[in-house]
């Protein structure tokens, strides 16, 4: 009985995963990309991609319950150390664009918290703004190297606060026309306006959807802490999918009620969350109260995410690695337990990615949108390793035993794994097409070159460390 009391139930699992995976930014960014057509997109992406993805993660976590390095462990056990190293490298290196944008997001949040509008960042010279962004990043890199974990805790609390306010926004906005007599901004909401046009332009936006629902591998450690995992884990994931679906659909409707889906502001990705809470405060007669609370909470949450994303992915790369692939010098830590040379490597790559866009992209809003879309191209590359691990697991047959199986039919499960792998890869490739700029102009080509080159360069750099490690061992 004592052991059972410590086991997670399906509702615990669903709520933990929901807070971890979902956020208001997912609603805002995809509404900015697709308008109200995103409603049907959410239903399709969650049913055909997110649910099987989460359940596959559950099975992998159940099989390799003692692994320390997540995806890297899964690949090492199913295929070997070489691919495991590249899985770990990918997991770390895809965070470079993420780290390049987080300080920018923090700057936007602080601007709204101090001034109550988005003019502070929007009016800046791009190079000047990116230099400030770089300074913010280097400061928090130093903070992370000092092991200041208390800021992560503060940020976690702030993250929960922004999450709760996001749900509050949906409820209050949907109720606003009835309670406050608010006029709906999108007046032609109909079946025709929510069904996507499945053309090339549409398919270039699905990478953002994949980016929004990804990250389910965070849930894997909890599979073996779930009571009756074979039944309650999939139930928890299905409830999670229902919660995400409801939040995404109602959130998109709420955005369509507040913003005209046929005339979406160009800076909605950068400032949309703050516009939303500013307008909501106006509707309910409390001025900027909602805005300031959300901006401050979001600023603290961004600080936490920045520090955590500097530290955690690097430790995943170095925690369970082979010295045939990673030089020993890279794993040495300072007195605070931070791999300081790994931090230096992070600083160099992120600094380049912060400064280079300012040399060819016209304004801060375009840089923000470009970096966000680049993240949608690069970050899902780590999900490919999850699906590859699952495919290899199914091909191994009865070699590995699992308390929980996604599907009893291994051939069907293998097919679903191949589908998710292919879908992710195609979404990333199509997402490389620049959006929001005139086609075939200088800015369009500049963004296309960066979109194509960045993932290849980041992954390609992973071939350098094994060569250095080999020379190091030979010299020793």
Give me the tens of pLDDT residue by residue for the chain, a chain 476 residues long.
Answer: 445 545 788 888 888 888 778 889 999 999 999 999 999 999 999 999 998 998 898 888 878 876 666 788 889 899 988 898 898 899 899 999 999 999 999 999 999 999 888 888 888 899 999 999 999 999 999 988 887 666 667 777 887 888 889 999 999 999 999 999 999 998 887 888 889 989 999 999 999 999 998 877 777 767 777 888 777 888 888 888 888 999 999 999 999 999 999 999 999 999 999 999 999 999 999 999 999 999 999 998 888 888 888 887 887 787 666 778 888 878 888 887 788 898 999 999 999 999 999 888 878 999 999 999 999 999 999 999 999 999 999 998 888 887 778 888 999 999 999 999 999 999 999 999 998 888 888 889 999 999 999 999 999 999 998 998 888 888 77
Report the distance separating Cα 414 and Cα 422, nearest Å. 12
Eight-state DSSP code of residue 267 = T
Report the distance separating Cα 72 and Cα 83, nearest Å. 8
Kind and range of the H or E element at 177? helix 150-180
3 state DSSP class of 109? helix
3-state helix, strand, coil in the chain (%, to 5): 75, 0, 20
Cβ-count burial 104-137 (b if 16+ within 10 Å, e if not): bbbbbbbbbbeebebebbbebebeebbebbbebb
Whole-model pTM? 0.90
HSE-CB at 221 with a 13 A cutoff on CA atoms is: 7
Report the distance separating Cα 290 and Cα 276, nearest Å. 9
Adjacent-strand bridge partners of 226: 8
Conformational region of residue 308, where left means phi above 0, alpha means psi within -120 to 50, and beta covers everything else? alpha
Q: Which of 299, 196, 288, 231 is nearest to 58 (CA)?
A: 231
Secondary structure E strands in 85-211: none
Residue 276 corresponds to which tokens in the numbers above?
């939303």
Do the Cβ atoms of 116 and 279 come closer than 8 Å? no
pLDDT of residue 416: 96
Residue 265 corresponds to which tokens in the numbers above?
């502001």
Q: Which of 185, 316, 227, 244 is nearest to 53 (CA)?
A: 244
pLDDT of residue 54: 87
Sign of the C-alpha dihedral, residues 19, 25, 31, 36?
positive
Q: Which of 347, 313, 68 is nearest to 215 (CA)?
A: 313
Residue tagged 């000092």 (tokens): 146
Measured N-to-C along each axis, helices 81-93 and 71-78 cross at an angle, to the nearest 10 degrees, of 160
CB-neighbour burial class of residue 146 (10 A; exposed 0-12, middle 13-18, buried 19+): exposed
Cβ-Cβ contacts under 8 Å for 464 (sequence gap 6 or more): none
């Amino acid at each position: 009985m004592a052991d059972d009391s410590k086991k997670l139930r399906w509702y615990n699992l669903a709520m933990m995963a929901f807070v971890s995976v979902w956020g208001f930014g997912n609603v805002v960014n995809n509404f900015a990309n697709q308008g109200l057509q995103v409603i049907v997109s959410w239903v399709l992406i969650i049913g055909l991609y997110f649910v099987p993805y989460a359940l596959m993660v559950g099975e992998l976590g159940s099989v390799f319950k003692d692994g320390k390095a997540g995806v890297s462990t899964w690949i090492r056990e199913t295929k070997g150390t070489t691919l495991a190293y590249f899985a770990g490298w990918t997991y770390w290196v895809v965070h470079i664009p993420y780290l390049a944008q987080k300080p920018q997001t923090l700057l936007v949040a602080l601007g709204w918290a101090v001034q109550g509008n988005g003019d502070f960042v929007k009016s800046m010279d791009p190079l000047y703004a990116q230099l400030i962004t770089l300074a913010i990043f280097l400061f928090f890199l130093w903070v992370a190297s000092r092991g200041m974990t208390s800021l992560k805790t503060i940020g976690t609390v702030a993250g929960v606060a922004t999450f709760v306010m996001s749900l509050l926004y949906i409820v209050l906005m949907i109720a606003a026309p009835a309670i406050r007599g608010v006029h709906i901004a999108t007046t032609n909401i109909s079946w025709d306006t929510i069904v996507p046009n499945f053309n090339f332009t549409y398919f270039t936006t699905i990478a953002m959807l994949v980016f929004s629902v990804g990250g389910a591998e965070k849930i894997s450690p909890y599979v073996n802490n779930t009571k009756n995992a074979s039944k309650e884990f999939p139930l928890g994931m299905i409830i999670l999918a229902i919660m995400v679906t409801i939040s995404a659909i109602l959130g998109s409707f709420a955005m369509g009620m507040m913003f005209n889906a046929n005339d979406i502001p160009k800076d909605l990705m950068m400032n949309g969350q703050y516009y939303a809470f500013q307008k909501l405060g106006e509707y309910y007669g409390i001025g900027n109260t909602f805005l300031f609370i959300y901006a401050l909470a979001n600023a603290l949450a961004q600080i936490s995410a920045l520090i955590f994303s500097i530290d955690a992915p690097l430790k995943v790369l170095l925690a369970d690695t082979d010295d045939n692939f990673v030089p020993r010098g890279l794993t040495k830590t300072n007195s605070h337990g931070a791999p300081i040379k790994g931090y230096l490597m992070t600083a160099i790559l992120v600094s380049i990615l912060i400064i280079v866009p300012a040399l060819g992209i016209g304004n801060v809003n375009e840089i923000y949108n470009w970096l966000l879309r680049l993240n949608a191209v690069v970050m899902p590359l780590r999900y490919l390793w999850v699906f590859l691990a699952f495919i290899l697991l199914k091909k191994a047959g009865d070699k590995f035993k699992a308390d929980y199986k996604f599907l009893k039919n291994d051939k069907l499960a293998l097919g679903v794994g191949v589908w998710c792998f292919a879908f992710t890869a195609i979404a990333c490739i199509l997402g490389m097409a620049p959006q929001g700029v005139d086609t075939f102009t200088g800015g369009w080509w500049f963004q296309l070159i960066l979109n194509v080159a960045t993932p290849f360069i980041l992954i390609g750099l992973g071939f350098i460390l094994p060569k250095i490690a080999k020379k190091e061992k030979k010299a020793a």
